[in-house]
Structure 1
Amino acid sequence: MFKLLVLLLGVILLLLLISYFKQNTFVALIITSLAVGLGLGIPLDKIFSSIEKGIGETIGELTIVFGFGAMLGSLVANAGGAYRISHTMIQLFGKKYLQIAVLITTFIIGISLFFEVSVVVMFPIIAAIALEAEVPLVYLGLPMMAVISVTHGFLPPHPAPTAIANMLGANVGKVLLYGIMIGIPTVLICGPLFTKIAKHWIPSAFQDKSDIIVNTNKKFQLEKTPPFGISIVTCLMPVILMMTKTIYQLIFNNGIFPSKPILLDSIINFIGNPATAMTISLLFSMYSMGYARNIFSKEINQQIETSVKSIAMLLLIVGGGGAFKQVLIDGGIGNIIKNLFIGSNLSPLLLGWLIAAILKIALGSATVAALTAGGLILPLIKGGSINPNLMVLAIGSGSVIASHFNASGFWMVKEYFRLTIKETLLTWTIQDTLISLCGLSGVLVLNLFFH
């Protein structure tokens, strides 16, 4: 019980450092890891070894995925590929199905962008569409945020699901496949359907705010932007490559063919690896969004450097979460939690969701909550009775719950959509909670078939 008390005090310390003392999240995670390590009785000369091990193991495999993902997104946005995709989708679906167009557009553009970057890139596009279609900004904004939240919490190559998949030994391609299966109904329920309901209980949020909409993105002439097809392929290439590996494995593992061709097997496994997929995708985007459009190396390099600066702190935070996780494991917390739930009727998937949800509400960061929950739940996965791919999604679902005052996403939504705190709580906070519950429900349903 003493070690669990140390964990509780550590979480409280982390909350105070981030929320009350406004400490940098990475610094707060390292301080908390050090304090918790001392409390758990890890020898003084071993604590920073645990911290270094946690950081190294967490971000070592992810640096390429994170860095190249940010570069790819920046190249697509700056070349006008994102603008071309959104414009074409709106023309295709028309005003009647505008929200569906927004869902698809946000997914295509946001799959390779991180949460904050997705909001920054998508907001001017959504604002311009709302102004042209004469609909309230929030009418399109909530569906957009539903997709961003789902991709952030459920789908690789986003930070938390990719990091947890590596931590738990899950198959990234299957996590992506299951995540899409759960994500589609989730965004439909929490996007268009939720928007209709929210419009009735908080009508003030849906007032016309077109007078404050300012497009801060570059102005694009449609005819000078990349073609729609090449823009789509560039954005989705990481997903296509990773899914190729998953589909290939499903075909052969299910015995459709008697044996695997060794050379093809090696090639598919190579290109389906997340780091390889992101490398190939970045090289392709440098050509399709750069050289093919007469954008030369100097400008491409400037865009790449700017994009890397935007995710440097995120990478450190992910590493800090890994450090905290490793200290908890080395301090014996994981085994204590495992022993607490031996013989329990509580589903480990529900437990993973619950731990992540509590941490998210307390800490505000979905990434930190997910990584910490992953470290705590790791001993249960090692037992072999739980599908690690579904556990990644259970934890991811818990990590997006109830965005409120201590979450950067809460303030981004409030400021971008010009909402009051009450309006933000009654729209975005409730929407995020609904996304979390829908995600958990989807995981439990899939567990019936893929246990």
Structure 2
Amino acid sequence: MDFLILVLGIALLLFLIIKVKMNTFVSLIITSILVGIGLGMPLDKIATSVQDGIGSQLGELSIVFGFGAMLGRLVADAGGAYRIAHTLIEKFGKKRLQLAIVLASFIIGIALFFEVGMVLLVPIVFAIAMEAGVSILYLGIPMAAALSVTHGFLPPHPAPTAISAVLGANPGHVLVLGIIVAIPAVIIAGPVYTRFARRIVPEAFERKGNLSALGPQKEFKLEDTPSFGISVLTSLFPVILMAITTIYQMVFNGGHFPKHPTILDSIIAFIGTPAIAMTISLLVAMYTMGWARRIKTPEIMSTVESAVKSIAMLLLVIGGGGAFKQVLIDGGVGNSVMHLFSNANISPLLLGWLIAVVLRIALGSATVASLTAAGLVLPLMTSAGVNPALMVLAIGAGSLAASHVNDAGFWMFKEYFDLSVKETLATWTVLETLISIVGIVCVLILSIFV
């Protein structure tokens, strides 16, 4: 019965978002309440579950997402992202343009949310393609692949950070293992797949793109932008801090901090938590992208405020996903999943991936799919003794699969590259699915050693 309620709940969520075109956050809250009633939860308990789900989801994450958006916008508005892309392309040359785009997108993608990264990189990709005399899609596919892997696998991005919190995974471990998974995924879904896509939809590679879909563009003179080194350091600062903590743990403490830490242990642990890492990184960005360039504080604060406005709805959607997850757990669906698969001969990692794939296809949103999947597999993961960091990556891989007409990313890619729906399915949808498949294969291989 619990599974029937779950299926009906997901169907309702899909109906509200796609057919009724209701706001995703509102749809999640309505679905959460109705699913709770269907599961026979006391009415007062449903309200508590919704509140607890939103609160627990947005506690630390609100700082990570908020400050992450501010950092990314500071780098972008100062011209740091522009400098990174152009320097890499200049160094790699025309023959290795795809590799340069992948690296630039990877670095910029870590600092920016997926949609913001896409809006920022598309004009740069168009300009470089025109200058080099190559197809915009030849560079667009590797760009999209690199942005997607950072979005799906690497903290401090919303989905992997949120799933880490739900599953109790160390974000630093997720980051290190996520980079290992991301490298083959982006190579196969980006430069390698481009060769096949050219044969499948050759006419798509003749398109000139549609820059008007991006709105007014900010122009940069290269000499007025921050240096390459400072731009990269600022973009990667939160990743560097989390990596320092993880490496320190592994080298000196066997992967865990001791019960009675030294002062150095405490400091290293402190700077590596996502919220503190993002706070420190934001202060660094305000200096390197602002004060050091003689930009006054009111102007810096204006950039910061515009960044917050851009993620307000994303925060609510993540909170709504947390509410749905909490209702499923409190209503007993998580335990039902655990009992159903307790004797099944299937890896919990593969199960987490499959659940996320189904939810992604049904709902469109990678973040909602991953949060819901995390709530469902949590009891099973705990009982099976699976490494939480690997489960985060398995669910993250599943949440990227088969992006189609119910996903905003699908339409962004279609419009910017001026493709038909069929061409978008053959390029964007396939590259997202390749990332998902390569991701779960790498996670299963890693599970043998980790």
State whether residues 70 and 311 of structure 1, in contact with CA within 8 Å, keep that contact through their aligned partners in structure 2: yes
Matches within 5 A, 1:63-142: 63-142=62-141
Q: CA deviation at 1:375?
A: 0.3
Partner residue of 1:5?
A: 4
Matches within 5 A, 1:146-157: 146-157=145-156
Residues 326-370 of structure 1, C-alpha deviation per residue, up to 9 Å, x if partnerless? 000110000000001112111000000000000000000000000
Matches within 5 A, 1:300-319: 300-319=300-319
Any idea what SS the aligned residue of 1:111 has? helix
Q: CA deviation at 1:212?
A: 5.8
Partner Cα distance (2:207, 2:439) in 1: 32
Amino acid at match of 2:82: Y
Structure 2 gaps, min length 5 = none
Partner residue of 1:391?
A: 391
Q: Structure 2 length as normaliser, TM-score?
A: 0.97
State whether residues 84 and 228 of structure 1, in contact with CA within 8 Å, keep that contact through their aligned partners in structure 2: yes
Matches within 5 A, 1:2-401: 2-209=1-208, 216-254=216-254, 262-383=262-383, 385-401=385-401
Residues 87-107 of structure 1, C-alpha deviation per residue, up to 9 Å, x if partnerless? 110110000000000000011
Partner Cα distance (2:202, 2:384) in 1: 49
Q: CA deviation at 1:271?
A: 0.3
State whether residues 135 and 208 of structure 1, in contact with CA within 8 Å, keep that contact through their aligned partners in structure 2: no
Partner Cα distance (1:85, 1:74) in 2: 14
State whether residues 154 and 397 of structure 1, in contact with CA within 8 Å, keep that contact through their aligned partners in structure 2: yes
Partner Cα distance (1:208, 1:418) in 2: 7
State whether residues 141 and 428 of structure 2, in contact with CA within 8 Å, keep that contact through their aligned partners in structure 1: yes
Any idea what SS the aligned residue of 1:97 has? helix
Q: CA deviation at 1:261?
A: 6.7
Query: Does residue 1:440 correspond to 2:440, yes or no?
Result: yes
Q: CA deviation at 1:260?
A: 8.9
Q: CA deviation at 1:259?
A: 12
Structure 1 gaps, min length 5 = none
Partner Cα distance (2:400, 2:307) in 1: 24
State whether residues 210 and 416 of structure 2, in contact with CA within 8 Å, keep that contact through their aligned partners in structure 1: no
Partner residue of 1:420?
A: 420
State whether residues 271 and 277 of structure 2, in contact with CA within 8 Å, keep that contact through their aligned partners in structure 1: yes
Partner Cα distance (1:26, 1:304) in 2: 24
Amino acid at match of 1:18: I
Shift in CA distance, 231/339, structure 1 to aligned 2, threshold 3 Å? same
Partner Cα distance (2:265, 2:81) in 1: 34
Any idea what SS the aligned residue of 2:219 has? coil
Amino acid at match of 2:70: M
Amino acid at match of 1:378: L
Amino acid at match of 1:121: L
Any idea what SS the aligned residue of 1:63 has? helix
Partner Cα distance (1:432, 1:37) in 2: 33
Shift in CA distance, 195/266, structure 1 to aligned 2, threshold 3 Å? same
Amino acid at match of 2:269: N
Partner Cα distance (2:354, 2:180) in 1: 21
State whether residues 397 and 437 of structure 2, in contact with CA within 8 Å, keep that contact through their aligned partners in structure 1: yes
Any idea what SS the aligned residue of 1:344 has? coil
Q: CA deviation at 1:131?
A: 1.4
Shift in CA distance, 215/313, structure 1 to aligned 2, threshold 3 Å? closer
Q: CA deviation at 1:382?
A: 2.1
Amino acid at match of 1:164: I
Shift in CA distance, 215/192, structure 1 to aligned 2, threshold 3 Å? farther
State whether residues 367 and 399 of structure 1, in contact with CA within 8 Å, keep that contact through their aligned partners in structure 2: yes
CA RMSD, Structure 1 to Structure 2 (Å):
1.7
State whether residues 124 and 216 of structure 1, in contact with CA within 8 Å, keep that contact through their aligned partners in structure 2: no
State whether residues 252 and 259 of structure 1, in contact with CA within 8 Å, keep that contact through their aligned partners in structure 2: no
Partner Cα distance (2:28, 2:59) in 1: 18
Q: CA deviation at 1:386?
A: 0.5
Partner Cα distance (1:223, 1:117) in 2: 24
Residues 386-442 of structure 1, C-alpha deviation per residue, up to 9 Å, x if partnerless? 011000000000000001010000000000111011100111011111110000001
Q: CA deviation at 1:381?
A: 2.2
